[in-house]
Amino acid sequence: MTHAVSPLAPAAFPALPAIAGVDLATHNTGLRYQGRPDLLVVRLAAGSTGAGVFTRSKTRSAPVDWCRRALAAGGGAARGLVVNSGNANAFTGSRGIASVERTIASAAMALSCPPEEVFIASTGTIGVPLDDAKITTLIDAIAPSLGTASWFDAATAISTTDTYPKGATRTATIDGVSVTLSGIAKGSGMIAPDMATMLAYVFTDAALPAGVLQDLLTQGVERSFNAITVDGDTSTSDSLMLFATGKAGNAPVQTALDRRLSGFRKALFALLTDLAHQVVRDGEGATKFVTVTVTGAKSPRAAKRIGLAIANSPLVKTAIAGEDANWGRIVMAVGKSGEEADRDRLEIRIGGHLIAAEGQAVADYDEGPVATHMKGTDVDIAVDLGLGRGKATVWTCDLTHGYIDINADYRT
């Protein structure tokens, strides 16, 4: 079943520049989807490095387990990536592990590299054995098509219930040398990352060792993908990886704290946030993009936990869908978060308008501007605890009947 493009979608897929040392190929395997690519294969130049963050789910998929082990075993060396959509290869037991091993072996042979330098991901239905022969057959003959696919093709190939492909790009300089970053992501439902997001891949031509990439990615994910939620559910397959080909030729950098990386760090974090926002804007059934800002908490951690309590509340999300400025539900969410709060210090603003303070509604506040704000596609909620300096921002979307429609028939 196909669904209309999200009303929050960007006007068009961005123009992502090619990254030297990155060759893309896409194909249709027929695993689930017809008339569109559902397999992405990436070849990375010799000498490329990689880093990743993955789901903390205790029922994580076999591809996630492989990637975690491969990063450690290969010291961050990276030569290839294989991603399929339509089947998550999760909760498939020993058959799933064997499927990963066969796919990796096939890709390693095609790319002429050790198995631990190839990474893999699968996304789609959980619990269905993966017919990996449909993948390996294509990989065996893929060499001539590497470098022929576009970023749009790649983003489409990794999608499941997404209503539009997601991409972003940024540029920066490292010690005076220009570098480029381009990334793609997929995600629409089962979105409450506990590390990264459903699937996202970022590529750069910068020359950076794997350890530096890992430090930067770990920092960036906390303020981007780990600060979004659609439905409060963490996927078994969440994977975010960052690859660097070194083709820009910048001078060596040995630590993520190097001042020469300030521009690159800013560009990377902006790109990750861009992709994370696109995932929320494609939330299943979403009609509104919601920013929740929490200030005055005891700590940044407390602020984030409170923000997520608000963003994950079905009562808050349905009120937003109904364009009802029901601030009482926000008070409820703050109170249930488990973090310290004082009702008499609490201040709540919607669209910048103060509507609750000192333990009660603001006397005679004008509800007109607030109601107008709620009718827009971008809704801003701000909560100040009045207890400290802790602050955080998280992003979510509203909860509509469209979410039920999409998920009630997902397997069928």
DSSP 137-180: HHHHT-GGGTT---HHHHHHHT-SS-SS-EEEEEEEEETTEEEE
Neighbours of 352 (CB within 10 A): 10
Q: Where are the alpha helices (DSSP H) in 151-287?
A: 151-157, 210-222, 262-281
End-to-end CA distance of the chain: 9
**Amino acid 14: pLDDT:** 97
| Residues 6+ positions from 67 with CB-CB distance below 8 Å | 52, 54, 119, 120, 121, 239, 241
- Residues with Cβ < 8 Å from 195, sequence gap 6 or more? 53, 54, 55, 56, 221, 225, 226, 238, 240
Q: What is the pLDDT of residue 233?
A: 65
Any residues with CB less than 8 A from the CB of 57 and at least 6 apart, and which?
194, 234, 235, 236, 238
Q: In the chain, where does the domain assigned CATH 3.60.70.12 lie? A: 22-281
Q: In terms of C-beta density within 10 A (0-12 exposed, 13-18 middle, 19 or more buried), how is residue 41 classed? A: buried
For residue 277, the model assigns a pLDDT of 95
**pLDDT at res. 411:** 56
Alpha helices in 17-132 (DSSP H): 62-74, 93-111
| 160 known member of a binding site | yes
Cα separation, 284 vs 22, in Å, equals 31
Closest by alpha carbon to 350, among 318, 316, 379, 391? 379
Q: Name the segment(s) of the chain with CATH classification 3.10.20.340.
A: 289-408
Q: Give the integer Cα–Cα distance in Å for 80 and 245.
A: 11
73 by DSSP, 3-state: which?
A: helix
Catalytic residue list contains 197? yes
The confidence score (pLDDT) of residue 234 equals: 67
Q: What is the pLDDT of residue 55?
A: 86
CATH of 289-408, one of 3.40.50.300, 3.10.20.340, 3.40.640.10, 3.40.50.450: 3.10.20.340
Sign of CA dihedral 384, 389, 390, 392: positive
Q: Which CATH superfamily is domain 22-281 in?
A: L-amino peptidase D-ALA esterase/amidase (3.60.70.12)
DSSP bridge partners of 167: 184
Q: How many residues does the chain have?
A: 412
Q: In 3-state terms, what secondary structure has residue 9? A: coil
Q: Of 197, 229, 245, 400, which one is the catalytic site residue? A: 197
Global pTM? 0.94
Q: Which residues pair with 239 in a beta bridge?
A: 54, 199
DSSP code for 130: -
Per-residue pLDDT of the chain in tens (412 residues, 90 and over written 9) = 456 899 999 999 999 999 999 999 999 999 999 999 999 999 999 999 999 999 888 889 999 999 999 999 999 999 999 999 999 999 999 999 999 999 999 999 999 999 999 999 999 888 999 999 999 999 988 888 999 999 999 999 999 889 999 999 999 999 999 999 999 999 866 555 555 447 999 999 999 999 999 999 999 999 999 999 887 666 677 899 999 999 999 998 999 999 999 999 999 999 999 999 999 999 888 999 999 999 999 999 999 999 999 999 999 999 999 999 999 999 999 999 999 999 999 999 999 999 999 999 998 888 899 999 999 999 999 999 999 999 999 999 999 987 777 777 655 5
> According to the annotation, is 284 in a ligand binding site?
yes
Main-chain dihedrals φ then ψ at residue 99, nearest 5 degrees: -65, -45
